[in-house]
Structure 1
């Protein structure tokens, strides 16, 4: 990236859990940093904290959480505005994270916390508490202003909802990726995601484009093949009957793999990409990341 230019900010979203959203977001961030030598910040907005404990140990996360150095503290400070703020962006970003090679030098993490579960329903009340001088969807954007230009990519792992926490991620995003298992249940909400994000983009008057849909946990059965055929021809579900365009379907898909499922276990032997993601998923994730990188580069040419 040219020095001084804005980073590519991508949110990873799906309204259904268990579709490989977090694994895909983490792998893309790791590969961008390690293989493509990009400066990457991964922001974990999901209160399940799976991306966080995929990249650092639970012990390290627990210490950060107790010290108020997670995304939950950022929102907590705004909710409890009568108390002295504890969150500091410089102290909260964990540098050189990953199980790969003992850490990837150019990959940083803004960790999440399970405390966010109890906070997320209170975040919309921040506007009222601050006499409407604070917009709840701007909290993350304002916090990141001192650091965001240090990065080539910001990858955001969003919670499985389109609430205020996800909108904080979308509000700084230029695009988003939808990981999905290519079956009926997992793809059911994709139309709603695209339509709701389109409405939000109009509301905030900024482009937030769907970069694409990526098929994850792919198996060789007829259902998966049929759904992927529909995706590749942009005729998935409600898209075929509406004016809303179905996002592109990424050429590179991710196979179902036991090794990929092990990727979230920091105690496993995850020191290499092949050890963490296994074959063929390791090569597939690399090709997917290259595809994402090329699409992002094409947007700024």
Structure 2
């Protein structure tokens, strides 16, 4: 069965979508089969990987409400990943799911049909803590929290952690917190390091290495319909490749996740 990772933070603009796409592409380059799930009604992941949400006949919305099988919705990407795409229709799925028993388990039930075909499944959760994010957390083995290293970026982290604890208590006892992933990171500034150290101290969460640097290549990659790994060599792609290697060592070899200590944050 595939290992399932939810990438979640209710704050937008923290590189959740970039992390899911880039990490997935990096694992495909290492010979793993990867399914990525766009659980955001804005469909940014779907669009950034070359699929126009307005032209898709069906999406994860239809899967969640039971009107389509996962196999009939999956599409391929230029980077070799398989995508369960989203459309704006997904915005209405929350209201429909709220009226159904076991609503938090809809995604997990759907993914069961294809989980044996993939080594890894990554879920791009929406920037909210509604039913869709609860579905992502309930379906996952672990959760990663991308964190923008800027002022006020940590607002809401505590609420997210409480939501994770509730999911662990009610719908997914095996869910574990993998850690915080620093994104849009500028090691030259004391401010970035202070934000990162504050989150680590305040919430006691592991800080995953390496931090993902700020680079214009991410925006350029999204516009091209492929991930940043498909273009020229750049520091963003190198960071995600290193992160992929660290996570594979953790998931497949049993190594501890590579994290940053307070001393390393300020080194």
TM-score normalised by the chain length of structure 1: 0.78
Partner of 1:73: 62
CA distance in 1, matches of 2:215, 2:100: 42
Q: Please point out which of 199, 206, 212 is paired with 2:166.
A: 199
Provide closer, same or farther for how the CA distance between residues 164 and 115 of structure 1 changes in structure 2, counting only shifts above 3 A. Answer: same
1:108 to 2:82 alignment: yes
Q: Please show how residues 1-301 of structure 1 align to structure 2 within 5 Å.
A: 6-34=1-29, 36-58=30-52, 61-64=53-56, 67=57, 69-77=58-66, 85=67, 87-95=68-76, 97-98=77-78, 103-104=79-80, 107-127=81-101, 135-219=102-186, 220-231=188-199, 234-236=200-202, 239=203, 246-266=204-224, 273=229, 275=231, 279-298=234-253
Q: Distance in 2 between matches of 1:195 and 1:292?
A: 25
> Is residue 33–residue 39 contact of structure 1 (8 Å, CA) maintained in 2?
yes
SS in 2 for 1:56: coil
1:62, distance to aligned residue in structure 2 (A): 3.2
Number of the residue aligned with 1:3: none
| Residue 123 (structure 1) shift | 1.7
Q: Give the superposition deviation at 1:185.
A: 1.5
Q: The residue matched to 2:158 in structure 1 has which SS?
A: helix
Structure 2 counterpart SS, 1:10: strand
Query: CA offsets, 1:11-62, max 9 Å, x none?
Result: 000111011111011100111112x11111001101111111122232xx43
What CA distance in whole angstroms lies between the structure 2 residues aligned with 1:32 and 1:274? 13
CA displacement, residues 112-151 of structure 1 (integer Å, 9 cap, x when unaligned): 1111123323321123xxxxxxx11121122222211111
Cα contact 1:53–1:266 (8 A) shared by 2: no
Structure 1 residues 110, 271: closer, same or farther in 2, change over 3 A?
Answer: closer
What is the distance in 2 between the residues matched to 1:299 and 1:192? 30
- Structure 1 window deviating more from structure 2 (252-261 vs 191-200): it is 191-200
CA contact (8 A) 2:104 2:138 kept: yes
Q: Is the 8 A contact 2:25 2:229 kept in 1?
A: no
Aligned-residue CA RMSD in angstroms? 2.1
Return the offset for 1:93.
Answer: 1.0
Alignment CA distance shift 1:253-1:172 (3 Å):
same
Measured against aligned partners, the alpha-carbon deviations of 1:60-100 in whole angstroms (never above 9, x if no partner) come to x4332xx2x201112344xxxxxxx3x121111113x13xx
User: Which of the two has higher C-alpha Rg?
Assistant: 1
Partners in 2 of 1:272 and 1:203 — Cα distance? 37
Which consecutive unaligned segments of at least 5 residues does structure 2 have?
257-267
Can you list the C-alpha shifts for 1:253-272, whole angstroms capped at 9, x where unaligned? 111111112221136xx587
